[in-house]
Structure 1
Amino acid sequence: MIVKTKAIVFSAIKYSEADLIACCYTESDGVKSYLLRNILKSKKSGLKASYFQPLTQLDIIANHKDKGTLEYIREAKVSIPYVSLHTNIVKSSLVMFLAEMLKNCIREEEANPMLFGFLEDSLSWLDQNDGVANFHIYFLLRISHFIGFYPDASNMNLDYFNILEGNFQDSKTTEYCLQGETVEDLKRFFNSSLYDMGSIKLSKTSRSSLLELLLSYYKLHIQGYQRPKSLSVINQIFV
């Protein structure tokens, strides 16, 4: 079936001498993987390898056979050209990390318009704004809502955060119950928006600890979770 849809690139890896396999999150069908034949050599192709940098937003026309095999893209164009996302070293490092996390966590081949819209808006904001040191914290917390394990914040006044149950409680009942400064920092992000990021002041050490808490949370709630390889780059930049 020929499908015209928006797509966000999660990854592209070299396959054979001139081909790429691109993993994209599509508005119409969720996660899809595409074989891009001869894209690294052919100058006549309407597809360019530069279109498939991580988290690039595209308009594509694709052939979806929906048989669990690699699909094919007939046409592609950049839908939202980025100004700084792939050239600013801080933002490009965030892109590497977030793309790896998204590919790790989102695997469903089904449409999720709210999630797609969130990704579109968040990436455009990241491209257009400075002061992005807290962006990945905000982003990971919000993504957990769209994929089904957003913490229950109804008792956020309580001291302990249970990362297994995803709720707050008044006492430590298991080894998964955490308390202290990092949990208090996490609470500050629950009622925040992208436009509040600059007002949340965290030290480098505090931000690193909060990121580790969120990654521990993801590890418990994502089947087959793999620790992101690009985490070391994030730590070098923000710590």
Structure 2
Amino acid sequence: MISKTKAIVISSVKYGDSDLIVKCFTPNGLRSYLLRRIYSSKNKQISIAYFQALNLLEISGSDKKNGQLNTIKEVNIDVVYHSIHGNIYKQSTAIFMAEVLSSVIWEESDSQSLFDFLHTAFQWFDEHQNTANFHLVFLLKLTQYLGFYPEVKNSDLKYFNLQDGIFTNVYEKESCIEGNILNVFKALIGINFDSLEELKLSSGSRQIILEVLMKYFQIHLTGFRKPKSLEIFKELFH
């Protein structure tokens, strides 16, 4: 059955000499597509450029579930990006976020609300210039849809326990953050993308809180892998 859906590109991998397998997130969950002979010079119907990380598409194709490969009959750009793919910092951020999503998105339970969040967030990211802290706010907001957003009550307490997801006065060395990093963590909680300019972070603080967030994901998501692009991404924002 052929159906039409909006989709967000999560990953694309060359298959054989001329084929491409693309994983997309849709309002109905993850879908994988096989594009045959897309690398062939004879294929003029669908451009490989459509399938860059986090592109927002509209796809007409088969709709098989349970990880089966679908085919694409027609694809169009749903929202045209103006800065993400032409800016090395934004492009690197997009690759990093796509890697995170590839590792965690199967955990979600409400496809439509997560899709709407991602669709809106990536448009905002494309349209704004002050985005150095975007990935930090994005990661923390993403935990709302994955089921481990921090418990915000008692935020006046001395520590935050990453294992339990709560503020506490009981210090555990392997699980707790404190001091300046705790203050940064608190600042990220509840902040909107439109308020990012108010978030003044040094590159050092940004690096440390990113590691904290990666640890938070590892604790709460079985099988979560740190993105391979993380080190390159950190170097760009050093």
Shorter-chain TM-score tier: over 0.9
CA distance in 2 between counterparts of 1:108 and 1:184 reads 29
CA change 1:121–1:194 in 2 (3 A) is same
Contact preservation (8 Å) 1:31, 1:109: no
CA change 1:84–1:69 in 2 (3 A) is same
Contact preservation (8 Å) 1:155, 1:169: yes
Contact preservation (8 Å) 1:31, 1:108: no
Per-residue deviation at 1:110? 7.0
Q: Per-residue displacement from partner, 1:42-78 (whole Å, max 9, x unpaired)?
A: 5444321110000000000120222432111111100
Structure 1: gaps of 5 or more residues: none
Contact preservation (8 Å) 2:108, 2:145: no
> What is the aligned residue count?
238
Which residues in structure 2 correspond to 1:164-175 (within 5 Å)? 164-173=163-172, 175=174
Contact preservation (8 Å) 1:30, 1:108: no
2:230 aligned with 1:227:
no
107-116 vs 162-171, greater mean Cα deviation: 107-116
Correspondence for 1:23: 23
CA change 1:151–1:62 in 2 (3 A) is same
Q: TM-score scaled by structure 2? A: 0.95
Contact preservation (8 Å) 1:26, 1:111: no
C-alpha root-mean-square deviation of aligned residues, in Å?
1.5
SS at match of 1:3: strand
CA change 1:221–1:74 in 2 (3 A) is same
CA change 1:19–1:236 in 2 (3 A) is same
Q: Per-residue displacement from partner, 1:205-237 (whole Å, max 9, x unpaired)?
A: 011000000000000111111111111122112
Structure 2: gaps of 5 or more residues: none
CA distance in 2 between counterparts of 1:65 and 1:146 reads 24
CA distance in 1 between counterparts of 2:201 and 2:108 reads 37
Per-residue deviation at 1:202? 0.5
Correspondence for 1:55: 54
CA distance in 2 between counterparts of 1:4 and 1:22 reads 16
Correspondence for 1:13: 13
CA distance in 1 between counterparts of 2:40 and 2:107 reads 32
Q: TM-score scaled by structure 1? A: 0.95
Correspondence for 1:180: 179
CA distance in 1 between counterparts of 2:142 and 2:41 reads 37
CA distance in 2 between counterparts of 1:70 and 1:46 reads 19
SS at match of 1:224: coil
